[in-house]
Amino acid sequence: MSGKHDLTTRHIRNVLRGRSVNEIVEQMKPDLNSLPTKIPVSAKTTLERVEKTWQHIPNPTLKDILLNPDDVSDYQGNIENLIGTLRVPLGIAGPLRVNGIFAKGDYLVPMATTEAALVASYHRGSSLISEAGGCTSMVLIESVNRAPSFCFPDMAAAGQFVMWAIAEMEVFQKVAATTTSHGQLVDIGTTIEGNHVYLNFDFHTADASGQNMVTIATQAICDHILKHSPVKPSQAYVEANLSGDKKASARSFTTARGKKVTAEVHLAADLVKKRLHCTVDEMCDYWRTSAIGGVLSGTMGIQGHFANGLAALYLATGQDVACVAESAVGVTRFEKSGNGDLYAAVTLPGIMVGTVGGGTGLPTQNACLQIMNLAGPDKSRALAEVTAGLILAGELSIIGALAAGHFSRAHRNLARGKKPIIDKNDVR
């Protein structure tokens, strides 16, 4: 078995490749000669502005591939220094039957990805769930938070500030309301670390994912605090890294950021055998082994590949894809029921999804939401429940493939060559 010494030695050989250490050191020094011309930053997405930006790109022939002039105006407010659009293959999985509090029906789920076998896997899991009558899915709680911090000379001042801030809840709600007609401040949490205070503001953001909404509202509250607090902070920051924004954290399991959602399904043993080509015992045995593997590797949560389904769905429907970092924290659980059937459940403690705002209004992304009939107001909770069902489908399919020994074969057949040979046992 290779150890760290072997890996380091191999890497050093790759770095050198006939060069001396001095040559490499020289190459790595700052180079102030002939500095590049800066591209002026602009949020305008007019065709004129796009053409000016292309003047800075050394290979203008690529413009024909990347730029459709008719689309330019659609992206105002979503990007800066626009040069075109990126085409990502878009597939469909399902129908996925969901029996939720807000989502009820059969959903065709768009998924954008460049990874072969991914849509096939989620499609197989979705079909399996639907054949069993669908999954039950439930939004448990929802809020989006922002956590500003305030610095004081000592703990006594920090404590005095906290007592004042907690009593100002209604005032803070009114201040937040001046920045948005959709968001609402619903709670405040406090954390004191020495002479530092972190206030955790929880908001309801209606049908928007809401990161920008809560940032703007929190800034307004911070401005109010700096003006009116009887104990003046020496420093204040609108976000001090306590919220868990766009990063995996243990905090996800004890609070909510976005929508906390869970989904379950009961699968008859003969259905598992027929569609996943393994037994309930084999599914549970693999799940237990992989759960221990997750513990040994220190993963945040225990699950197979939440990020795959979330990233593909987020790309397709205009969500903030960077939020996969926090949304993919969660737990998968398989158990054999008393009657021999398979009980499978997933819990995602904080998925960031919306059906209005952000990228959800862009042409192709909005079309994907329309495919599911989940575009526009009053649909975000249903989208969250469908998302949980999709993630459950993906867990069933990948664990079935691993338990049955089909995992690598599916990737070999689907990911290599232009005309893959599809084994019905891998993806049906």
The residue from 51, 74, 115, 285 that is catalytic is 115
Beta bridge partners of 204: 184
CA distance 256 to 237: 22
CATH architecture of the domain with residue range 148-237: 2-Layer Sandwich (3.30)
Mean pLDDT by 10 residues, the chain (428 residues): 73 89 92 90 92 90 90 91 93 97 98 94 97 97 92 96 96 94 91 95 90 92 95 93 83 84 98 96 95 92 94 97 92 96 96 94 96 96 98 97 77 58 47
DSSP state of 293: H
The pLDDT value recorded for residue 7 is 87
Q: Are 139 and 261 in contact (CB under 8 A)?
A: yes
DSSP state of 356: B
> Cβ-count burial of 156 within 10 angstroms (0-12 exposed, 13-18 middle, 19+ buried)?
exposed
The residue from 123, 245, 411, 426 that is catalytic is 411
The pLDDT value recorded for residue 91 is 97
The residue from 51, 239, 320, 335 that is catalytic is 320
Domain boundaries, the chain: 49-87, 90-140+259-427, 148-237
Residue 25: in which H helix or E strand, if any?
helix 21-27
Question: pTM for this one?
Answer: 0.90
Tokens of 239: 């976000």
Please give the backbone phi and psi of residue 228, each rounded to the nearest 5 degrees, phi first: -115, -10
Q: Say if 90-140+259-427 and 148-237 have the same CATH topology.
A: no
168 is catalytic: no
Residues in the chain, how many?
428
CA distance 182 to 383: 18
Tokens of 7: 């890996």
DSSP state of 179: T
207 is catalytic: no
Query: 90-140+259-427: what fold?
Result: 3.90.770
The pLDDT value recorded for residue 408 is 61
Q: In 3D, which of 365, 352, 300 has the Cα closest to residue 329? A: 300
* 212 contacts: CB under 8 Å, gap ≥ 6: 357, 358
DSSP assignment of 40-57 equals PP-----HHHHHHHHTT-
277 is catalytic: no
